[in-house]
């Protein structure tokens, strides 16, 4: 398991911090900081990533937004 942040983009190249929770099975749960959608992918998420180009395999919705790595971890593991 690994938790990390990268600087990236979403939408029309809006800058954002991307929060990532990487599990030992290769799945990466991620979201834009403050976002309501938490997505899962096997794609690499590195500095400069445009999340609009990531191939998602699952999506979860959060009504409060995710603002930290701990919140991302806790939400995925509820």
Return the pLDDT at 12.
84
Whether the predicted model's global pTM rises above the 0.75 cut: yes
For the chain, the structural domain boundaries read 2-76
| 3-state class (DSSP) for residue 75 | helix
pLDDT exceeds 90 at position 11:
no
Average of pLDDT values for 17-22? 98
Burial class of residue 38, CB neighbours in 10 A (0-12, 13-18, 19+)? buried
């Amino acid at each position: 398991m690994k938790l990390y942040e990268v600087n990236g983009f979403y939408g029309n190249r809006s800058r954002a911090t991307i929060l990532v929770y990487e599990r030992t099975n290769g799945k990466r749960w991620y979201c834009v900081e403050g976002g309501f959608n938490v997505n899962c992918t096997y794609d690499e998420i590195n500095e400069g990533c445009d999340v609009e180009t990531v191939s998602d395999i699952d999506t979860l919705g959060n009504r409060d937004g995710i603002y930290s790595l701990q919140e991302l971890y806790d939400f995925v593991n509820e």
